[in-house]
Structure 1
Amino acid sequence: MTDLEKMGARAKDAARILRTVSPEDKELALKDVAGALICRQAEILEANRQDLTAAEAGGMPRSMLDRLALSKERVHGMADGVTAVSEWPDPVGRVLEEYDLPNGLHVRRVSVPLGVIGIIFEARPNVTSDCAALCIRAGNACILRGGKEAFRTNLAVTRIMREALSDSPLPADCVQLVTDTDRRSATEMMNLTEYLDVLIPRGGAGLIRSVVDNARVPVIETGAGNCHIYVDKAASVEMAAAIAVNAKTSRPSVCNAAEKLLIHREIADRALPVIGKRLREKEVELRGDDASREIFRDMRPATDEDWGKEYVDLIMGVRIVDSIEEAIRHIERWSTHHSDCIVTEDPAAAAKFQAEVDSAAVYHNASTRFTDGGELGLGAEIGISTQKLHARGPMGVNQLVTYKYVIDGNGQIR
């Protein structure tokens, strides 16, 4: 057996135990994990400092360094996320449907864990604790495979979590980290069908596409985020500016950051100078079509490649549209169906946009940055699913279970 197959076998054993662990034991174990992250934050921050030093020396872009960087506040945020997940109602064992058949069989459809979940992710070490906590609460074992940029941090976080779990009724092997960050280990995970029940990629478009195209393990596709802000002709310019600046600049490296700004032609002369000025004050590079560049000249020309690009940086594409219908068509053509927003004071326009835009999260007068498990009340998330099977949008504990039919009889035969 390879090292990864051995991990898979241990994870399978851990998953069998987790199926029957009480909700109370899972809650207490996760709270112990949260406490350990706080108590041992110095270890995490030192490991992260080493990762950041190596990443800067290797020329990692500023936006990606932000994804990688931890602080005391971010470690506390990781612990808070684990605590929030621990207090979420247990999703396992719920009777989703119950009925009797004419032949006397009593049928229940009951929620059960998925089993063993593999997560391949890039340079965001908070993913380690978020994903592990969500998997445990939903009764799943997990095998985590992070990028080399965050290896020391991921190793420290995983070690602390496993040591906390070893003092609980839960098996430490319900959380394991792949220590080989070579591309071959990712490829092996994609084909670990005997041990993994589902594979979830979290990262940039290249990683997600590679996993979706090459995995033999079932995949839940999470989102590259080419997210749009559409400023309708009935928008408040001040609100539109505040939303656009927040959605683009509060954390430009994440998938729910807005990448494109569409503005109705009837309001463009008033709105674009205000919004463009605010974005440029935040050092956002603007790339516009011809019409937008006539109104606000501090822009580079946009190309067709720009409209489909997730920048993950302080860059934003700008386009003038003639109607809400044109905005919706543009989004349908170029969006990754992650998060898109309309800014308008017209309820009919808002209703039309939210009905016709086929994205996992569709906003009216609010920043796309709210597409996040914690912000939407899920405690944390294992990823933002942009597909339609088996989950969509932020995936919390309720999206990490499946179901089985439990049937009771008294001797019936067919």
Structure 2
Amino acid sequence: MHDIRAIRENPAAFDAALARRGLSPLSSDVLALDEARRALIHAAETAQAAQNAASKQVGAAKAKGDDAEFERLRALVAEKKAEIAAMTAEADQKDAALRDMLMRIPNSPLPEVPEGADEAGNVELRRWGTPRTFDFAPKEHFEIAGVKPGMDFATAAKLSGSRFVVLRGAVIRVHRALAQLMLDTHVGEHGLTETWTPVLVKEEAMYGTNQLPKFAEDSYQTTNGWWLVPTSEVTLTNTVAGDILDEAVLPIRMTAHTQCFRSEAGSAGKDTTGMLRQHQFEKVEMVSITTPETSLAEHERMTRCAEAILEKLDLPYRTIVLCTGDMGFGATKTHDLEVWLPGQNTYREISSVSVCGDFQARRMNARYRPAGGKPEFVHTLNGSGLAVGRCLIAVLENGQQADGSVDLPEALWPYLGGKRRIAANGDLV
């Protein structure tokens, strides 16, 4: 959420940041609502002072036996009390409207973020690995012979509808091994703290990480008001909501492996085959809570943590910085990692690592106290480390063989009891 004081002090800069995202100026609307709210608060305070003064005079008039003055003052007190109640209620409405307006405005991009209207404006930073040359036409993951017995879309459709999958046998073993490799690497090599969190959260948690109010249709809500998390960014980041942390405990670095749920609203017709875009999926998430001075360095560090998983699996990838028009709502800068999928003959997103500045911290009221200083808002970061299902897709497609079997990355062998391949018949061998 934006700082209203910063908008008051420099509305032109606020509008310029929105313009970089392709949005129209909003400072005049924001400040008009803010001014109306502040005017009501001032008027209520003025009326309160008049009421207090009249209240003091009521007793004096009564003591003097001045009944007329007593009645006049008592009526004035009642009048001011009613005025104060009405103005306070209206000010509260304006305050709620202002907060809602600010919560629907995306974060400001950092100056170094490239400008662009859509993904065409993204800038590649680097590549790792060389896509394999096949002596046959590579298939998409769901077409590979050895994968078909373990990837059942028909049964999933019978149970739940489209964009679900039932995984069995060798395929689910590899899926589970991937998640374990990610967790072990992030905890043992990258120093993140493994955390287990609920997948059902209160509404305020969704507000805290900017899923609400703007993107309600992208998530699922239960009949009693809980929300299913679209990612454990929601829970991990909100662990510090409302807190004032000692600077000495920062940075806080967490990772969690959870189920994630997304309605995929607005994605009709996209990636309808296979398991690239599902309503229910698993992800190993990374979240960092830092001081403002260290957040950009932490962003680079988190990006390297995600890249390291792909390198362990020998999966070719590229790292890009998203342009202003393709960046997520809460991000001030984002790196995407795109893994090579030979079945599609293209790179596809497998991780998005974002620094959010104090945008989420203001929504959550999450602060820290510098040594000897006043509380300040923390900076928050989040990133996939990685999306487990998409990583499975990449492993299957890059390791596929002409006979329909799949050679698995060496890094997974210890997690599979020494097994190295999915045979053409679907067995793990």
TM-score after normalising by structure 2: 0.23
Structure having the higher Rg: 2
What is the TM-score when the length of structure 1 is the normalising length? 0.24
